Amino acid sequence: MAESCFYRRTAGTPWTRISQGLPEPKGTLISEVATNEAEPSVFYVANNRGIFRSADAGLTWQQLDVVWPERYHQQQVQAIAVVGEL
């Protein structure tokens, strides 16, 4: 079974695993990451568990209220595009 994790690093510090607000690694396929030039320090992630947003440079995440069909739970996301501001 697939397992996917996120790690974050700030200059001069060690890599640390980020998990607050993200789905459990076991069963999570590779995530696609995107940014929006209009939202500094904001990141978006899409994977087979849904779409997530971090407003604090990846420290914490919140799942967006987007209907995620059951058939997507077994598929890898191919791309994510962010347009405009939320």
Q: Given pLDDT bands bounded at 50, 70 and 90, which one contains residue 86?
A: low
- Structural domain contains residue 80: no
pLDDT in tens, 28-53: 888 899 998 888 889 999 999 999 99
- Structural domain contains residue 52: yes
- Structural domain contains residue 33: yes
pTM for the model: 0.83
- Structural domain contains residue 59: yes
Q: Residue 17: its pLDDT value, please?
A: 87
Give 41-76 as a DSSP string. Answer: T-EEEEETTEEEEESSTTSS-EE------GGGGGS-
pLDDT at 81 over 60: yes
- Structural domain contains residue 81: no
- Structural domain contains residue 79: no
Spatial contact of 43 and 56, defined as CB atoms under 8 Å apart: no
3 state SS of 35: strand
pLDDT at 85 over 70: no
What is the span of the domain harbouring residue 65? 6-74
Number of domains in the chain: 1
